[in-house]
Structure 1
């Protein structure tokens, strides 16, 4: 199982200048991928900006959103943004997509929360039209340069529609943060949908897990703050699940490795760049 690391782009009041520093240090340490969390209504840095910054600060490490709330974007604009990030990175980008659920994460009129699932299904077709160079805007020109590729898509979520999208148009599935007992059933549902759709091989399975090593209680407080919209109990449970010791990290990794996970993204909960080397010493 590969081990990636999440960038701290959605730590409250993150210092944006730490993002490229974190990315460069993670590549040097040997992590497989750099991940981002997507959300609008929170004082962090956009996942598209974060991915672009990481692309510029690195040359070999994979780039992954886990997950991007894609339906809050006009499809044509997002497709071009992502094509640009993928191109400047040398085709290192994989996009993990979710539909989201917080109304305040959908600030643009006409791109609200009510029809986001149906809109995403339409948008997936638009993405591929943009990426394959079809003309846009009623004129003769495509939106992207020749050589643009169809960016690999992963899907995150818990609904049957998510599993169907994974099987229909994705390369795999992203599980949420949580223990094997919670995330495992969703992974199996994605695998079942994949087989039922007649897809060859197995879907790529990625999971995420939060960690804090230098300032454990601050990291847990940050996670609780981020998830407060889910209510006190759920946010507290997610905060308590932050791995704060070498033993907890190893246990989480072994549990998901036994489940056949392809990649585990360890997500930082503070913007302390030294967290990269701390966790690398334990897991790499």
Structure 2
């Protein structure tokens, strides 16, 4: 199993300047991936800004949005943003996509909560079209440089349409920061959907888990604040690892479920958390 680490982009009132320093330190520590958490109606830093900062501060570590609320964006604009970040990183970005559930996240006129699923279906085709270098708007020009690649996508969510999008457009599935017993059915459903669709191999499976190894009380308070308006079944069951033993147990549990990568998402913006997490793991566990 590969071990990644989140960026603290959605810790309430973080200092944004910490993001590139966090990214560089995580790469030096040998983590496989840097991931963002998507949300807009919250005092943090957006996925695209955080990922761009991380792309510029690193050279080898993978980048992932886990997950970006795609239907809150105009599709061609998001496709251009994602292509630019991927290009700056040298092709290290994976776009993790979700539809969102909170009405206050949908701030762009014409891109509201209603019909977000149907809108995403059209958006996904637009992403591919933009990344292919086809002209945008009514003019002759593409939105991206020649040589732009098709950015790989993962999908997060708990509905049947999520799995349908995954098998048609994606490379795998992202599970939320819930206990293994609650996420295991989603991973099994993703694998079944992949097989039924006739996709080769198996879907990439990624899971999230929060951690706070330093100031655990602040970390717990931050998680409660972030999920204060989330559905009760999610808010009450979010996983927060506060000891090395809990980190090790999470890795063992998800290894048993056949998950390919676990991303430990920080509950605080304390830069020393990167090393605290790294010190719980042999370096080979982060990159193998």
Q: TM-score range by the shorter chain?
A: over 0.9
**CA deviation after TM superposition for structure 1 residue 263, in Å:** 0.6
Q: Which is worse superposed, 227-236 or 25-34?
A: 227-236
**CA deviation after TM superposition for structure 1 residue 230, in Å:** 2.3
Query: Structure 1 residues 74 and 234, CA, compared in 2 at 3 Å: closer, same or farther?
Result: closer
Structure 1 length-normalised TM: 0.98
8 Å CA contact 2:179–2:237 kept in 1: the answer is no
Aligned-partner SS, 2:191:
helix
8 Å CA contact 1:83–1:144 kept in 2: the answer is yes
Q: Where do residues 1-284 of structure 1 align in structure 2 (5 Å cutoff)?
A: 1-230=1-230, 234-238=234-238, 241-284=239-282
Aligned-partner SS, 1:266:
strand
Aligned-partner SS, 2:91:
coil
Structure 2 length-normalised TM: 0.96
- Deviation beyond 3 Å, 4+ runs, structure 1: 231-234
**CA deviation after TM superposition for structure 1 residue 209, in Å:** 0.2
**CA deviation after TM superposition for structure 1 residue 109, in Å:** 1.1
Distance 2:119 2:49 in 1: 23
Distance 1:9 1:136 in 2: 31
**CA deviation after TM superposition for structure 1 residue 108, in Å:** 1.1
Distance 1:23 1:125 in 2: 31
Distance 1:149 1:231 in 2: 36
Distance 1:167 1:86 in 2: 22
Distance 2:233 2:133 in 1: 47
Distance 2:208 2:57 in 1: 23
Aligned-partner SS, 2:280:
helix
Q: CA RMSD in A?
A: 1.0
Distance 2:99 2:15 in 1: 27
8 Å CA contact 1:225–1:235 kept in 2: the answer is no
Q: Which runs of 5+ in 2 are unaligned?
A: 283-288
8 Å CA contact 2:178–2:234 kept in 1: the answer is no
8 Å CA contact 1:52–1:85 kept in 2: the answer is yes
**CA deviation after TM superposition for structure 1 residue 236, in Å:** 4.2
Query: Structure 1 residues 154 and 178, CA, compared in 2 at 3 Å: closer, same or farther?
Result: same
**CA deviation after TM superposition for structure 1 residue 262, in Å:** 0.7
Distance 2:78 2:35 in 1: 18
Query: Structure 1 residues 179 and 232, CA, compared in 2 at 3 Å: closer, same or farther?
Result: closer
